[in-house]
Structure 1
């Protein structure tokens, strides 16, 4: 009896954590998630989220949450990732505020039916596409951007009229627990819930038959999510990390390119899904580029990035070990290469003499390593990129518009950017997502609204023009078939004549 009591006490202690504010935060799992899902479904079926005013109030609450607790988020991300305040505010909080404000300003227009072109058969009818909410959705956040990748999809789900269960990454403990503590104080407690679950519990949660699942993170975990969702034909949006190539042409501003590449690769301690993962530079500019990258890193982080207040740390020991091992097994270190396991610190590192078959070019990781490879021409760069899986992003730095056009036209990726990096993934007016192995679906702005909406075709018809539609009825005869065949040939001159049915 005492032994059973002891085991229960140990289990209970493992399941309890404390937030920075001291509130007890009990880790939840699939069982608690199932209860939350039932409550959210009941609220959705009752029409709680259908009203425009309700949606606007919830979007306003998200904005207030971020405004009023900026310091708490800065502190939590500092503890989880050693993330500088500047990066937290710019790449996480401002992005969330802008998304919420953009949704508030455009929600009425997004909710309006979209009327489509009429034809002869529908001249007296109404044809429209109506956006209706999917139901109750599951949002699985990533530790790379633990606030942005939870709240920005949530904004889209709210705007579209869904209920939602949010599961922040367990690797960012302080941020996850902060969201768990704060969101119920701002959002409707029946419609929106936060789950603190482990990575190994994600497939079980997906298996609960949500109406949509949004996941951002690694391909390995994304595959598990997709398989679990497929069992119930649950639609998914996957934004998956991979190997984002960056081609540096001989005809470009090397110093500007180096600064922008270095910023994109090494901000947040190199933990970015949209950052460039390797550089393909023209052989003529290799030495100039390496020198410019070294100088940019010295300006950004000083001679010892470990002492810099602008440089982050890896999220956990597992990721540190993975990055360190890849660092020692691939290429030649020409700058950086310093590690400290106690601090989960890996210095900004440049690698050369990297082969296409080296582990750093194949294994998925997220850390401050930038391999620099050389190519003889843009044709070789395109061939190199196309031999690999379709990436989330492709970058090119060149002053030659024809080179840029070729990379954009002859490679396939979730997004593309020339002469800069990452910024295309932050734009409200453009979709961001992957293709093929880098994911499916997209989000941001109107595209988030569409992701969490079902586009329902609606034909509001009257009982007139029966003189035309009678041709479709049995008994069939050759005369009616001839008339319909003749009408269909008129499609070449006037669209819609064949649709007399």
Structure 2
């Protein structure tokens, strides 16, 4: 009951602030965005320390993958804020002549952002940037699985943004449940599909719209006509250089041909030795698994009876450090757990096929992924991959980099999510595009009104077909005016 009362209090306070109009002016929005920019710059060391405490994340990854992306997102929003807020004039059309028409972006109101633990700074602050830019009041619920970053956000945000319009609510399942029981104008959730379904069920009670940023098994298809060394580095970077595989767009499995697999394996082994050394569990550049539950889950994937003998590289683990070495597995059964569930860790299965086009069928037999990757110099294969594989996003000859482009939407499809954000799409995710028609009292078309006659219908048919003579007749009110 205490959690419910606190959640209701937070929502009502923010609803009062929103109702006052405080969040609507461009000046307020810009001031909050500049505050977030200052926070990222001034508190870089503290943010990196929190990420190190939660995930043993290397400082380079903390800055490049989290702090710099928040900074870029803020700058992009500040640069484009007035353009996004400006009403967009559209053609009015003959049926409403004389009139003017526009689309106006209005804030939704009070929104709830529930963030994830794997990128606990970025995935908390980035959606908040979009919500603020669109003029909303926001409640942020950071992930309790990353407690150091959650506590830091609760401490920092009130110091850099307007606390009457942006609130942080910490806690675990009871606090999250209490928040979900409230009526929000939008819910933005980043996490897994299981919890995504729970979020949707709560949202349905109030017909609250949702954005779900989920995950999925992101495939990497590797053709034989590639620069093998570059391909191996980019795959390894996207897998183990992204939080030790604990990323929603991390490569989840590779598909290549039987004849090319040995070459790809050798290239990946060489790259991993160079990245993390012969004793990767001692490398300061390899993030740890977030907690013992996830460590045990990943260990169980490797220990499954049909998978245990498929490890061809790595496999070492240290439960005390919660670290698992980069691990390659060859030709695991497609019905094994590791191929049915999103791995979200440093294990990378390699599936072999006779012909590269057979990869399409393997991918399409699973749920639609958040991202799909193809390494090839074959333009026809790229075209076929794009046409035949459905995914939230797609990259040719690299992994994970599409999220850095603010001009691209980032989001899933099917079970990998719904809705998108980043750049303009973040603003759109938290704004309602309101249709507005401003019509003159002149130009009254009497043919639209009863009593209906065949002559009026003839005129209206002409108007609907864009006939200017019919328009003149409709306005003139003949034959048979009302």
What is the TM-score normalised by the length of structure 1? 0.91
User: How big is the shift at 1:385?
Assistant: 1.0
Aligned to 1:286: 261
1:476 to 443, 452, 459: 452
- Secondary structure of 1:343's partner? coil
Equivalent pair of 1:334/1:350 in contact (CA under 8 Å): yes
In structure 2, stretches of 5+ residues that fail to align are 478-482
1:444 to 2:444 alignment: no
Kept in 1: contact 2:121–2:149 (CA 8 A): yes
Q: Distance in 2 between matches of 1:213 and 1:383?
A: 35
Query: 1:242 touches 1:364 (CA, 8 Å); kept in 2?
Result: yes
Alpha-carbon distance between aligned partners in 2 of 1:441 and 1:112, rounded to the nearest angstrom: 23
Partner residue of 1:328 out of 286, 303, 307: 303
1:408 equivalent in structure 2:
386
Equivalent pair of 2:97/2:443 in contact (CA under 8 Å): no
Match of 2:397 in 1: 419
Aligned with 2:201: secondary structure?
Answer: helix
Task: Give the ranges of 4+ consecutive aligned residues of structure 1 lying more than 4 Å apart after TM superposition.
Answer: none
1:299 is matched with: 274
Q: SS state of the match for residue 342, structure 1?
A: coil
Separation (CA, whole Å) in 2 of partners of 1:279 and 1:386? 14
Are 2:89 and 1:115 aligned? yes
Q: CA deviation at 1:30?
A: 3.6
- Aligned residue pairs total 469
* C-alpha separation in 2, matches of 1:95 and 1:123: 47
Question: How is 1:259-274 mapped onto 2 (pairs within 5 angstroms)?
Answer: 259-267=233-241, 268-274=243-249
Shift of 1:121: 3.2
CA distance in 2, matches of 1:234, 1:59: 26
Contact 1:252 1:398 in 2 (8 A): yes
Q: CA deviation at 1:123?
A: 4.6
Residues 1:318 and 2:318 aligned together? no
CA contact (8 A) 1:207 1:232 kept: no
**Secondary structure, counterpart of 1:142 in structure 2:** coil
Please report how far the alpha carbon of residue 384 of structure 1 lies from its aligned counterpart in structure 2 after TM superposition: 1.1
TM superposition shift of 1:250 = 1.6
Shift of 1:118: 3.1
Deviation at 1:144, TM superposition (A): 1.2
SS at structure 2 position matched to 1:404: helix
CA offset digits 1:165-220 (Å, max 9, x no partner): 00111000100000011111111111000011213542331220111000111111
Q: Equivalent residue for 2:102? A: 128
> Partner of 1:344 in structure 2?
322
1:119 offset after TM fit, Å? 2.1
Counterparts of 1:155 and 1:373, CA distance in 2: 40
What's the CA shift for 1:383? Answer: 1.1
Match of 1:381 in 2: 359
Shift of 1:364: 3.1
Moved more, 354-363 or 482-491: 482-491
Determine the C-alpha separation between the residues in 2 that align with 1:473 and 1:124. 18
TM (norm. structure 2) is 0.94
Deviation at 1:320, TM superposition (A): 0.7
Alpha-carbon displacement from aligned partner over 1:42-73 (angstroms, at most 9, x marks no partner):
00000000111011100000000110100001
Alpha-carbon distance between aligned partners in 2 of 1:33 and 1:432, rounded to the nearest angstrom: 29
Match of 1:156 in 2: 130
Alignment map for 1:7-406 (pairs within 5 Å): 29-199=3-173, 201-267=175-241, 268-329=243-304, 331=307, 332-406=310-384
The 8 Å contact of residues 249 and 378 in structure 1, kept in 2 or not, is answered as yes
**Mapped partners of 1:264, 1:339: distance in 2:** 21
- CA RMSD, aligned part only? 1.9
Alignment check: 8 A CA contact 1:29 1:198 kept: no
Which of 444, 463, 471 matches 1:487? 463
